[in-house]
Structure 1
Amino acid sequence: MIQRKIIHVDMDAFFASVEQRDNPELQGKPIAVGSSSERGVVATCSYEARKFGVRSAMSSVVAKRLCPDIIFVRPRFEQYEAVSAQIMKIFQEFTDKIEPLSIDEAFLDVTENFVQQSSATEIAKLIRKRILEETGLTASAGVSFNKFLAKIASDMKKPNGLTVVRPEQAEAFVEQLPIEKFYGIGKVTAEKMHRYGIHNGKDLKGRELHELTRLFGKSGMFFFSMARAIDEREVKNSRVRKSVGAEQTFEKDLTTKFERIAELYKLEQEVFERIKESNFKGKTITLKVKFHNFEQITRSKTINGWFTSFDTIHRYAKELLLQTYLEDAKIRLLGVTISNAEEDEKDGIQLTLNF
């Protein structure tokens, strides 16, 4: 069996780096892309801000508390998409096996490539050099023989770093890895693993498959394989959309029935437009409600047909909202998502796209 040569390229603080590139006055300063309002959220931040503990998805209030001098910049998604397209064209000069994970990162399979280069490490160097020359931005990269290792490796020496994990290094690399660094293990799962004495890759590798599946369900098989550096997933050129949705955090809490229905109506329209644009079909609608105290609930409804018309989306989203006891509640966020897609009935890797 041919051993694959996989590169994972991850742009460094992408949105923030674009803003610093385009505005020299922001260079070297702690900036956050997002809204500075009381209800604002940091989309991403510069490495200067990260030194203070500021992170993506953090509330703007907390970010300003950690870093009083932080500068908030409104996002320019059209510009980010344009730069992302530039980077994608660079990738296409080296291989046609490209799997974007988001606007700022992708897997590349360079086992066979267009530049007749046998070393994946050299290709990663060339790609990073081209990105810097053409966009003025830095990228970090991980190189290995599977996606799991390449993904983790790309995060080891950020920013502007390159990490290579060769086959003979894989076992030791995974064993010393803190469990929080494993791709696919979030905070809640990591805490659960700690309770069972699993703190790193070596601890995880010491657990039997039946134990991991008992503790973590279907994910147990994934964890079992990752602990042994086994990942047979191929780099896929196309990904299947699994859901379409929209959500909104409000400047002021919604306290009346009229306000809730009016704001929900706007979200329904947005979701409907995205469904039309993507030609998406789903059977399940989910309502997300977050209250002023940050408690959150979700309510779902599955129908026999498809959510392809605005009337259907409006009918069931409103029904879910009215069925939820909210008489005295103060709502800070509403969200509507359509899922259970037509493609779910087919084989293939799927990726949830959050809007």
Structure 2
Amino acid sequence: MWPQIILHADMDAFFAAVEQRDRPELKGRPVLIGSTSRRGVVTTASYEARPFGVGSAMSMMKARELCPHAVVVRPRMARYSEISHQVMDIFRDFSPRVEPLSVDEAFLDMTGAEGLFGSPREMGAALKRAVLEQTGLVVSVGAATTKYVAKVASDLEKPDGLVVVPPEEVEAFLHPLPVRRLWGVGPKGEERLHKLGLMTIGDVARLEPSLAASMGSLGAHLFALANGRDPRAVVTNRASKSVGSERTLGEDISGEAAVRPHLLRAADDVAQRLRKHGYRAAGIRVKLKTAQFELHTRQRRLVEPTDVAKSLYEAALTLLPEFDLSRRFRLVGLAAFDLVEEESRQFELFKAGVQSDEHRRRLDTALDAVHDRFGGLSLRRASELDPER
């Protein structure tokens, strides 16, 4: 008996799949979505490109070295957003309780819908058919009693996967998997767990509770997940779709050096608002308006959601080569999108070094306290100061 039924639906190589659908000549060919500039990154790689070692967030230069015959396509975010709305509407035909995580994935709470759609496996199969019939795109689905297990399941047999994990099989399903499958373990966290002799999720599940507790709140979090415990409910009233900050300048500017300080100030403002409301962003958008009032935007997904100003700023800088910065601009803006709740972020376990996101976050939080007490201009970064003053 399933106490609750959670589906995690994840579109397969979404951006690339949309391009292959809209342009039939790309079907079956390796496709890379992203900028062709020297500092551009791969936003999405089609499954035909992945056997060559190409993946999201890789530099486009490296990706083209690995897969020189790939077709590079500039992203069409408006088109992807349009298709995303269609997909989410299909999800809502199955359940009113849908929690979008990004443009291409969502949780669905299907508890009590057995009379309409049948067993959890039949639910997943029906959802996959509906998406394919109505959009021509493929979605992978995981079904389980918790969000965490459903998300792991949806990823295991991509593309076009359907993995169902009954409650009595959760431990048998999770325990053989590598520790990197734990929600919150990144590359450095995996390395540290390996040094502790923890190679599989089962190894973490068999830890003495006191040892898990000695690793702090994250240790307790991983111990609970490894034992199949995840009390989080599907949340339908998620945050606003984006948080932005923009500034109309007193004088027009041109060139990257002139744009950078305004992006940094905007990143500080956006990051502070994200932290205040308990969210992290999985995407970043840069907006520039020319002296002729022409609006230009570029955006990208982040490897990991963040609420750290420097991380947002550094991601924004990677987008600048996609603009013609020889033009004169009257407005500079930055927005964070694809917001996720603070509690659902993926932790980078034991991440070391002063450049880590957590170190930066502690610094930003300290700045928040100063600004709250003495005002927003009481303490500023040296890089924000006008060098001519």
TM-score by length of 2: 0.69
**Does residue 64 in structure 1 map to residue 77 in structure 2?**
no
SS at match of 1:43: strand
| 1:83-137 deviations in Å (ceiling 9; x for gaps) | 1110111111111111111110011110123962341221111111010011100
Classify 1:208/1:261 alpha carbon distance in 2 versus 1 (closer, same or farther; 3 Å): farther
Residue identity (%): 39
Distance in 1 between the 2:88 and 2:384 partners? Answer: 46
Distance in 2 between the 1:245 and 1:296 partners? Answer: 24
Distance in 2 between the 1:146 and 1:194 partners? Answer: 26
- Assess if the C-alpha contact under 8 Å between 1:94 and 1:115 holds in 2: no
Equivalent position of 1:229 in the other structure: 228
- Assess if the C-alpha contact under 8 Å between 1:33 and 1:45 holds in 2: yes
Read off the aligned partner of 1:172 and give its amino acid letter.
Answer: A
Read off the aligned partner of 2:309 and give its amino acid letter.
Answer: T
Distance in 2 between the 1:144 and 1:281 partners? Answer: 30
Equivalent position of 1:120 in the other structure: 120
TM alignment of 1:172-321, pairs within 5 A: 172-215=172-215, 217-240=216-239, 244=243, 259-266=256-263, 268=265, 286-288=309-311, 298=360, 300=364, 301-303=367-369, 312=376, 319-321=380-382
- Assess if the C-alpha contact under 8 Å between 1:95 and 1:112 holds in 2: no
- Assess if the C-alpha contact under 8 Å between 1:287 and 1:321 holds in 2: no
TM alignment of 1:42-53, pairs within 5 A: 42-53=42-53
- Assess if the C-alpha contact under 8 Å between 2:8 and 2:154 holds in 1: yes
- Assess if the C-alpha contact under 8 Å between 2:31 and 2:72 holds in 1: yes
Read off the aligned partner of 1:205 and give its amino acid letter.
Answer: A
- Assess if the C-alpha contact under 8 Å between 2:261 and 2:383 holds in 1: no
- Assess if the C-alpha contact under 8 Å between 1:245 and 1:271 holds in 2: no
- 1:272, CA displacement in angstroms? 6.9
**Does residue 322 in structure 1 map to residue 319 in structure 2?**
no
- Assess if the C-alpha contact under 8 Å between 2:267 and 2:309 holds in 1: no
| 1:272-324 deviations in Å (ceiling 9; x for gaps) | 79999x9x879x983357599xx968563215666xxxx95xx589x314389
The answer for unaligned runs of 5 or more in structure 2 is 246-254, 279-306, 318-353
Equivalent position of 1:171 in the other structure: 171
| 1:55-88 deviations in Å (ceiling 9; x for gaps) | 1001111111111112211111111111111011
Read off the aligned partner of 1:235 and give its amino acid letter.
Answer: V
Distance in 2 between the 1:270 and 1:237 partners? Answer: 27
SS at match of 2:237: coil
In the comparison of the two structures, how many residue pairs are matched?
302
Equivalent position of 2:154 in the other structure: 154
Distance in 2 between the 1:140 and 1:171 partners? Answer: 22
Read off the aligned partner of 2:200 and give its amino acid letter.
Answer: N
Read off the aligned partner of 1:287 and give its amino acid letter.
Answer: K
- Assess if the C-alpha contact under 8 Å between 1:244 and 1:275 holds in 2: no
Distance in 2 between the 1:191 and 1:174 partners? Answer: 19
RMSD: 3.6
Which moved further from structure 2: 187-196 or 176-185?
176-185
- Assess if the C-alpha contact under 8 Å between 2:34 and 2:75 holds in 1: yes
SS at match of 1:32: strand
Distance in 2 between the 1:147 and 1:265 partners? Answer: 39
Equivalent position of 1:140 in the other structure: 140
- Assess if the C-alpha contact under 8 Å between 1:244 and 1:271 holds in 2: no
SS at match of 1:218: helix
- 1:184, CA displacement in angstroms? 2.1
TM alignment of 1:76-115, pairs within 5 A: 76-113=76-113
TM-score by length of 1: 0.75
Classify 1:149/1:35 alpha carbon distance in 2 versus 1 (closer, same or farther; 3 Å): same
Classify 1:47/1:304 alpha carbon distance in 2 versus 1 (closer, same or farther; 3 Å): same
SS at match of 1:211: helix
Distance in 2 between the 1:79 and 1:115 partners? Answer: 36
SS at match of 2:123: helix
Read off the aligned partner of 2:368 and give its amino acid letter.
Answer: T
